[in-house]
Amino acid sequence: MRVMRKAKLKTKPAVNGKSKAKPSAKPKRATMVPLATGQIWRVAEQNLQVGLIGKLLVHYKLAAPNAVRISNSVGGRTAVEKYLKTNKAVLLKTVDPETVKF
């Protein structure tokens, strides 16, 4: 049978209420904005334009900024959000949903 021993935790006293946290070298990225109709995201050298958003699926266009013809794509909402997050997408602008043509 094993006997468990309690380890004593050493606590450090507070230093005048000031913390000695080092300033971070990189600025923190903004939190992910929820997907909305009309958003345009910059991903690497392409733009992802969000069209319609449903309960599970998202209609979007992914192409170069100066592309002539852009195909419509449909993907899972979580998959698109994960894609944006892993590729460090930046929200460029949000267009009025009434003007978005899909």
pLDDT at 55: 94
Give 29's DSSP letter.
P
**β-strand 46-53 against 72-76: which pairing, if any?**
unpaired
Taking the complete model, does pTM exceed 0.85, yes or no? Answer: no
Q: How many CB atoms lie within 10 A of CB 42?
A: 16
Burial 10-40 (b: 16+ CB within 10 A, else e): eeeeeeeeeeeeeeeeeeeeeeeeeeebbbb
**Could you read off the pLDDT tens digit of each residue along the chain, which spans 102 residues?**
566 666 666 666 666 655 565 655 555 555 678 899 999 999 989 999 999 999 999 999 999 999 999 999 999 999 999 999 999 999 998 877 677 565
For the chain, domain boundaries = 39-96
Query: What's the confidence (pLDDT) of residue 54?
Result: 94
What pLDDT score does 93 carry?
84
Residue type, 79: A
